[in-house]
Structure 1
Amino acid sequence: MKKLFTKAAVVAAAVCLMVTAPLMAQAKDNLSGTLEIFSWWAGDEGPALEALIKQFNEQYPDVTVENAAVTGGSGINARAVLKTRMLGGNPPNSFQVHAGQELIGTWVKSDRMEDLTWLFEEQGWMDAFPSDLINLIGTDKGIWSVPVNVHRSNVIWFVPANLEKWGVTVPADWNEFLAIAPKLQAKGIVPLALATNWTVNHLWESVALASMGPDKWDALWRGELAWTSPEVIQAWELFGKVLQYTNADASSLSWQQATDMVVDGRAAFNVMGDWAAGYMNTTLKLAPGTGFGWAASPGTDGIFMFLADSFGLPVGVENRDTSVAWLKLVGSREGSDIFNPLKGSISPRLDTDLSLYNAYSKSAAGDWGKNRIVGSLAHGVTANEGFMSDFASVMEMYLKSRNAEQAAKACNAIAVKNGIAKK
């Protein structure tokens, strides 16, 4: 389990900073050299990152920025490439990572990331970001990344005009979905569009959250609820019922193609993170509220399952000053408000200018401020990379067997293996 980043730790880190300040190079106005930004934001997710890089280039025209994006939804391919580079002693200047255990349980644990407490203190970020978010990206030994956004995982997307045409409404829970799904199928409509395998994991967490509720969901990750409990088995059983109403060609589609199925009327719904809003608004030029609609995924109204993208500073990077300058832009209000309106996400800062955001983002920001907040499994908040990788294998097994009890037992085994549950 991650430990909370305490005020005492901030003081200790500040003392350490005074002693080691000469070793901590600050970004200079006359920076030059190369800055390599490693991420999985390519294609339809690229415009937001490109806008941030453009702003950096305007501030530091003598720096050559290399946009080293590796395609692949949710960073599956990028993480594999990053692992090779980090272990090979060739880290990028800064890399995108899901805030939480994806970074802490992997690269912080192996002492390959710099503590950024001094940067948070210098930039006033201890007050600019919510304390709960700082706790998530920190341990009792430091703060390890700079958040650039907040995404919501548990969102169901639809086209309002299509639902009206088909005579259906957005299901409030999964039982309602299961009741209307056969009616949609009878019209030749796919009830729920699904894509490649990571999107199956993404769907599972929304179904499991609805089935178990937020308290028991959180208890799973604290090791207080057994993965073999009836609640977990029931979640797998409900998930199996939902899968009956998805498209047979899911494994061959990207998440954008699954979204396209909803947009062009081949499918009624899609459960996806709110990067889908960025895709539909920025790429497809659809207006939020009319061109596309949204709601909390069935059974999760009042709950915000979140993830946050962030950038860290690997130990031993070349041109360290350029990396620090990049992190300063990423964490700034200016950078946040350049990036997030295009990405479909909301700013993690408390002082964001909501007038720059569209109707969806304003809605999400409102929910972020009042909903119950829980972490995403599929996007690295609640579990380390080892568990995430093993869970993907469990899902592959489940998709073949559809055996809920077997899947629950397998999850228990990988939870023990990866330090999430006790033997």
Structure 2
Amino acid sequence: MHYWTSGSEAAGLDVLKQLLEKRGVTWSDSPVAGGTGMNMVQVLRARIASDTAPSAAQMHAQQVQAWAAEGVLTDLSDLAKKEDWAKIIAPELVPLISYNGKTVAVPVNVHRSNWLWYNKKVFDKAGVQPPTTWDEFNQVSEKLLAAGVTPLALGGQPWQEADLFENVVLGLGGADFYRKALIEQDQEAIKSETMVKVFDQLRVMNKFVDKNYPGRDWNLATQMVIKGEAGMQIMGDWAKGELSLAKMEPNVDYGCSPAPGTKGDYVWLTDNFGFFTTKDENRVKGQMEMASAILDKDFQEAFNIKKGSIPSRVDVSMDKFDFCGKAAYADRAEAQKTNTSLPSLTHNAATGATKTGVFLDVVSTFFETPTMTSQQAIDQLVAGLKSAE
């Protein structure tokens, strides 16, 4: 079970299917559309409750921990020890695939969510450069509006709006503020003047999206950038998978730069597969083959090139990756040295589902309710997080 249903996601998944076929594993596909997997979680929970859990399911880091706590994930410790996962997997991921001393999931990739993608032809025609601060973003957006182009491609879904929010939090507040406000949910940070400015900036961005944004899927927003209907998209590097699928070349047809104010920072998330306990020996064999296949070096290279992400293994060559892929890899290495590598709130890497849900609900309500003030949003955040304790 998975939620990779866009063109580039499906292309990446095909690499895994083909590798498993070579290993004698039959793939029975069960996709559930919906960004960040929120729809899939509901379907998955229903299947587990009815004792028809899939053999394997895609899950974000905090979801791994939640399912492990329920005791429904297969223990992969023997395989992990045999293949030395602790040495080959990016160090920040190891705790997230572990629970009570056991290895309970396998990471497929590492995505970066603080990217700004822009159509170079649109920018050149408007005579603008990629913005490096939020003030510059507003100025560039005004020029794009004047040129008759939608400045920001966005889908009106809670996770996409929360993606914007966490990028503004980091861009205006910096890594320490991001850590306090989003990871630790520190009351002083959430109630601060900086957070007021974050919501003020979000409100400004209302006028930079087109009126048809409600309900739009992320990949359809990326298509707006591809077609030149929109100038920019702030989105994780899964957007690059769609740009590549459209035969667009980085630094020729499109550009990638850190979201405004986040140069030097790396906001990450990871897609993992967990395997549900079963007494069927054939299924167990298939699970172990799939877990091993996911960390195959050739698979890690081929899959992540198509998906837009970078490998979860630290020893995969980046030679075949494009400019933006190599930039992501280099930026992560730098951020790890400066302690500015940060887990994404929106994509279930920073905190548990309940508190993440509070942020998504409040941010989405604020973005879609023009009469709501920044202070009202902050008050709702504080109340919601208190009740989620």
AA partner of residue 201 (structure 2)? L
Verify: 1:236 aligned to 2:199, yes or no.
yes
Pairing 1:5-20 to 2, within 5 Å after superposition = none
Q: Deviations over 1:255-306 (max 9, x none)?
A: 122112112222111101101111110x211112212111000110110111
- 45-54 vs 378-387, greater mean Cα deviation: 378-387
CA distance in 2 between counterparts of 1:317 and 1:53 reads 23
2:145 aligned with 1:177, yes or no? no
Look up the equivalent residue of 2:16 and give its one-letter code. L
Is the partner of 2:71 in helix, strand or coil?
A: coil
Alignment partners' CA distance in 2, 1:141 and 1:412: 34
Correspondence 1:409 to 2:371: no
Contact 1:56 1:326 in 2 (8 A): yes
Q: 1:342 maps to which residue?
A: 306
2:168 — aligned with what?
207
The AA in structure 2 aligned to 1:253 is R
**Which residue in the other structure is 2:260 paired with?**
298
Residue in 1 aligned with 2:34?
72
Q: How does 1:12-31 map onto structure 2 within 5 Å?
A: none
Alignment partners' CA distance in 2, 1:103 and 1:258? 29
Judge conservation of contact 2:15–2:299 (CA < 8 Å) in 1: no
Q: Which amino acid aligns with 1:360?
A: C
Partner of 2:154 in structure 1? 194
Secondary structure at the residue paired with 1:355? coil
1:53 and 2:17 matched: yes
- Aligned twin of 2:357: 389
Q: Deviation of residue 317 (structure 1)? A: 6.2
Q: Which amino acid aligns with 2:222?
A: T
Query: Alpha carbons of 1:148 and 1:317: their partners in 2 closer, same or farther (altered >3 Å)?
Result: farther
2:23 and 2:289 in contact (8 A); partners too: no
* Cα distance between partner residues in 1 of 2:92 and 2:53: 29
| Alignment match, 2:289 | 325
- Measured in 2, the distance between the counterparts of 1:228 and 1:87 equals 40
Q: In structure 1, how many angstroms separate the alpha carbons of the residues matched to 2:380 and 2:271? A: 29
Distance 1:216 1:65 in 2: 44
1:366 to 330, 352, 366: 330
Q: Is the 8 A contact 2:108 2:294 kept in 1?
A: yes
Paired residues, number: 377
Task: Measure how far apart 1:228 and its partner are.
Answer: 2.5
Change beyond 3 A, Cα 1:79–1:165: same
Q: Given the two structures, how large is their TM-score scaled by the length of structure 2?
A: 0.92
* Contact map agreement 1:93 1:314 (CA 8 A) in 2: yes
Structure 1 position 312 matched with structure 2 position 282: no
Q: Is the 8 A contact 1:211 1:238 kept in 2?
A: no
Pair 1:126–1:344, CA change in 2 (3 A): same
Tell me the CA shift for residue 159 of structure 1: 1.6
CA contact (8 A) 2:346 2:360 kept: no
Report if the CA contact (8 A) 2:117-2:232 is conserved. Answer: yes
CA distance in structure 2 between the aligned counterparts of 1:212 and 1:228, rounded to whole angstroms: 13
Distance (whole Å) between structure 1 residues aligned to residue 50 and residue 236 of structure 2: 33
Structure 1 residues 351-360 or 303-312, which shifts more?
351-360
Go from structure 1 to structure 2 and tell me whether the alpha carbon gap of 1:130 and 1:367 turns closer, same or farther (over 3 Å shift).
same
Deviates most, 88-97 or 129-138: 129-138
TM-score (norm: length of structure 1): 0.85
| Distance in 2 of aligned mates of 1:377 and 1:223 | 11
The structure with the larger Rg is 1
Residue in structure 2 matching 1:277, options 234, 240, 246: 240
Question: What code does the residue aligned with 1:110 have?
Answer: E
Query: Alignment partner of 1:213: what SS?
Result: helix
Q: Flag the 1:108–1:409 CA change in 2: closer, same or farther, 3 A.
A: farther
Moved more, 191-200 or 150-159: 191-200
Indicate conservation of the 8 Å contact 1:240/1:402, yes or no. no
Runs (5+) with no aligned partner, structure 2: none
Q: Deviations over 1:35-61 (max 9, x none)?
A: xxx11012311010111110110121x
Contact 1:145/1:313 (<8 A) preserved: yes
On the 8 A contact 1:152/1:306 being kept in 2, the answer is yes
SS in 1 for 2:311: coil
| Unaligned segments of structure 1, at least 5 residues | 1-37
State which of 65, 76, 81 in structure 2 corresponds to 1:121. 81
Give the C-alpha shift of residue 396 in structure 1: 3.6
Instruction: Note if 1:222 corresponds to 2:184.
Output: yes
Q: Which moved more, 1:317-326 or 1:287-296?
A: 317-326
CA RMSD of aligned residues (A): 1.8
Letter in 1 for 2:273: F
